[in-house]
Amino acid sequence: MRAGPRPTGLRARVAAAFGLGALLVSAVLAGSTFLLARGYLLDQRESAATAAAFVDADFLRSRLATAGTGVDDVLAELSTEGGDVVVRRGDSWYSTSLEVGARDVPAGLRAIVESGSAGRERVDSPAGPRLVVGVPVAGAGLDVYEVAPLGELRSVLTTLSWVLGAAALAASAAGAGVGLWASRRVVQPLDQVAGAATRIAAGELTTRLPATDDPDLVAIVGSFNTMVDALAARIDRDARFVGDVSHELRSPLTSLTTAVEVMGARRGELDDRSRQALTLVEQQLARFRATLDDLLQLARLDNDPGARGDEPVAVGGLVREVLAASGRPAGLLETDPEEDTVVRGDKAWLERAVRNLLDNADRHAGGARAVRVARRGASVVLTVDDAGPGIPPEDRERVFERFARGPRAARGSLPGAGLGLAIVADVAARHGGGAWASASPAGGARLSLSLPAGPA
Amino acid sequence: MSPRLLLVEDDDPIRTALRWALEDEGYTVDEAVDGDRACALVDRDPPDVMVLDLMLGRTDGYTVVRHVRRAHDLPIIVVSARADTHDIVAALEAGADDYVTKPFAVKEITARLRALRRRAGGTPADAARPREVVLDRHPDEPLVLRPAAGTVSRGERPLPLTVTEFRLLCELASVPGRVLSRAELLERVWQHGFFGDERLVDVHIRRLRTKVELDPGAPRVVVTVRGLGYRLDPR
């Protein structure tokens, strides 16, 4: 029924164990009940048949003692309630019924009775099981056999065995049911732990298991909550570390940038070599600043998982403003009517994502060639096309990872440490959208950002 | 005469480099390395503008801002090193006019300073404005704005608005009954572009209300238009 070698679940195993245990116990009970009942009933039947045989034998003897009385006549007087009677006198056989006769007396029993002892034997006949009790009547030359049918008893026993079997099955089903219920009860705390772990993995670090006074669960709940405390403290420490490091870097970077700006204002007083050196320092400082800026933005995103604004932002207008603010030509943009491109979110983060996409095109492909904002069903899609070397298919997911880099050719020659697209991906994800890379029909790369459209 | 600027910064290299850069921009720069000295300097001889690091030793930047605001309306730019933006809002609520975050470029500070000083000194357009605008015809305590004189009064009482608050009120009063969006106010008052921090507007509107409204909890002069911006309703 199950596909593949999936291991049986804990709940199923506990239920099966309960069911099996109940089956075992009820089978033993039913079996012994059946055996006892059968023994008792058979004993009863045998003693009744034996008693009847002696009574009949006695009756026969006393009646036959009267001269002129035939065996047939006496047999006709006998009650055949408990079974038929077969009598051997010499080689002649007499019976109370046509259905039984000498053939129904087993040879072994006959030998015993003829040797002078009473005996009994159970036989199977075409008419059903029977009990034959043989009693020799000493002095009269008679052997009296009581042939008692056991069919009725057999059917009683069959009914009893069915009833007992059904009871055993019902007991094991009830056992399995109890097992299932008990295992649910036992597994319930595990489900709670699993739910809490899922919420924690999703970033809800304040999640804790509710306190319990169940002595069996106190240890688990306690150590789980302790683990989450430690984890949260660790994450907090890591985040603070990034914050501390960036704070430490900001101050020297600020004084450095400011001092270099002071030097830049005196560029004219420098000789050629010093001017070149100053230019190099300025470029590298800009790169340093951009990377630190990206790191700080990512740290802020990490510190604030899931948070996003809820203001309506027209992506078309936003891109136009970013183009204008960065001095890029407004003609790059092709947009659907702005009211169709409204999304809900945080304007500052979305602006950052748009700027990073444009900067990425600058860095790796000599600038964006076309920027489009279009409504596609329930999404607003921004695409930035460039005419650069493109991104090979195997790198198209990797470029959105932190510190992923473009082709080696571009490395080192331009600023940027490869955090820009990671920020784009993070911003897209927290707005419920996505970002991906593909090939531009113009030959270069196409980077796309999709966001769920807000109420226009 | 070159404007006098008080630079409060406890990090020596930053203070030194920033002093050079600001002097290049034509400011006469006084320095203070901690909050106590900054307060003392302002009390003795208030400067024209102030650039103040929030993270100072014993007496932090907020305390200095609050101290200065008790007696002076001079423009204050705070420098925040932390990405934690609660800092910035707290400093603005204490009375700072604008902020920059480290690492900044000198031109960011000088651009903000220019915008602030333009406000402090008034613009040519101010001369063309009416001498007196009544914003609230309250029978006992009318609210009167005198743009040319640079004063606002409630009844007989002159209101101690900072230059930014005064500018904000002038901009709103220049288009009575019309909504100005946060972005428009940022552009007009702070000269920030499209991507300025709109919290600047919200915090300063809040501070403005505590001064001009009779009941700041239920503003009737400067009203919020949800989702759009702010409007001045002359009464």
Q: What is the pLDDT of residues A313-341, one digit of tens each?
A: 889 989 998 888 888 888 888 888 888 88
Give the pLDDT of residue A384: 92
Contact B104 A254 (CB under 8 A): yes
CATH fold, domain A10-158, is Beta-Lactamase (3.30.450)
- Of residues B127 and A15, which shows the higher confidence score? A15
Give the pLDDT of residue A262: 92
- In the predicted model, what is the mean pLDDT of residues A63-79? 77
Q: Is pLDDT of A406 > 80?
A: no
Nearest CA in chain A to B53: A251
Q: What is the CA angle A81-A86-A90, rounded to 5?
A: 155
Most B CBs within 10 Å, among A258, A269, A310, A319, to test the B interface: A258
Contact A325 B195 (CB under 8 A): yes
Residue-averaged pLDDT of chain B: 85
Q: Position of tokens 């100072």?
A: B56
**Has domain B124-232 been given CATH number 1.10.10.10?**
yes
Give the pLDDT of residue A413: 40
**Among A residues 317-356, those touching chain B with beta carbons less than 8 Å apart:** 321, 324-325, 347-348, 351
* Band of pLDDT at residue A416, cut at 50, 70 and 90: very low
Task: Report the range of poorest mean pLDDT among A68-77, A429-438, B117-126, B217-226.
Answer: B117-126
Nearest CA in chain A to B10: A251
Q: In which residue ranges of chain B is CATH 3.40.50.2300 found?
A: 4-121
- In the predicted model, what is the mean pLDDT of residues A151-172? 89
> Token pair for residue B129?
């404005």
Contact list, B11 vs chain A (CB under 8 Å): 251, 255
Neighbours of B6 (CB within 10 A): 24
CB A85 within 8 A of CB A146: yes
Distances from the Cα of A112 to the Cαs of A42, A103, A129, A163, in angstroms? 21, 16, 20, 39
Most A CBs within 10 Å, among B102, B186, B228, to test the A interface: B102
Give the pLDDT of residue B129: 61
Helices (H), B45-140: 61-69, 85-94, 106-121, 124-127
- In the predicted model, what is the mean pLDDT of residues B17-22? 93
What are the phi and psi torsion angles at A370 (to 5°)? -155, 140
* Band of pLDDT at residue A5, cut at 50, 70 and 90: low
> Token pair for residue A73?
């006549």
Give the pLDDT of residue A402: 77
Q: What percent of chain B has pLDDT over 90?
A: 25
Residue B17 to residue A264: CA distance in whole angstroms:
13
Give the pLDDT of residue A409: 42
User: pTM of the entire structure?
Assistant: 0.61
CB A8 within 8 A of CB A15: no
Nearest CA in chain A to B17: A259
Task: Report the range of poorest mean pLDDT among A229-233, A302-306, B130-134.
Answer: A302-306
Q: Is pLDDT of A124 > 80?
A: yes
Distances from the Cα of A342 to the Cαs of A338, A351, A374, A427, in angstroms? 7, 14, 10, 16
Nearest CA in chain B to A299: B83
Q: Is B226 on the interface with A (CB under 8 A)?
A: no
CA distance B164 to chain A (A): 24
Nearest CA in chain A to B101: A250
pLDDT tens per residue across span B52-78 = 998 887 778 888 999 998 888 889 999
* Band of pLDDT at residue A3, cut at 50, 70 and 90: low
Per-domain boundaries in chain A: 10-158, 215-300, 308-452
Selection from B211, B196, B231 nearest residue B88 by Cα = B196
pLDDT tens per residue across span A367-381 = 888 899 988 888 899
Contact A258 B193 (CB under 8 A): no
Residue-averaged pLDDT of chain A: 84
CATH fold, domain A308-452, is Heat Shock Protein 90 (3.30.565)
Q: Is B152 on the interface with A (CB under 8 A)?
A: no
Residue A79 to residue A64: CA distance in whole angstroms:
17
* Band of pLDDT at residue A232, cut at 50, 70 and 90: confident
Q: Is pLDDT of A276 > 90?
A: yes
Give the pLDDT of residue A414: 42
Residue A399 CB-density burial (10 A; 0-12 exposed, 13-18 middle, 19+ buried):
buried
Q: In which residue ranges of chain B is CATH 1.10.10.10 found?
A: 124-232
**CA B111 from centroid of its chain's CA atoms:** 14
Residue A80 to residue A65: CA distance in whole angstroms:
22
Residue A204 to residue B150: CA distance in whole angstroms:
52
Residue A140 to residue A144: CA distance in whole angstroms:
11
Query: How would DSSP label each residue in A53-109?
Result: HHHHHHHHHHHHTSTT--HHHHHHHS--SS-EEEEEETTEEEESSSS--GGGS-HHH
* Band of pLDDT at residue A52, cut at 50, 70 and 90: confident
Architecture field, domain A215-300: Orthogonal Bundle (1.10)
Give the pLDDT of residue B27: 93
Query: What DSSP state is assigned to residue B147?
Result: T
Question: For the domain B4-121, what is the CATH code?
Answer: 3.40.50.2300
Q: Is pLDDT of B85 > 50?
A: yes
Q: Is pLDDT of A282 > 50?
A: yes
Q: Is B228 on the interface with A (CB under 8 A)?
A: no
What are the phi and psi torsion angles at A205 (to 5°)? -75, -5
Selection from B234, B152, B177 nearest residue B144 by Cα = B152
SS3 category, A449 = strand
Most A CBs within 10 Å, among B7, B14, B109, to test the A interface: B14
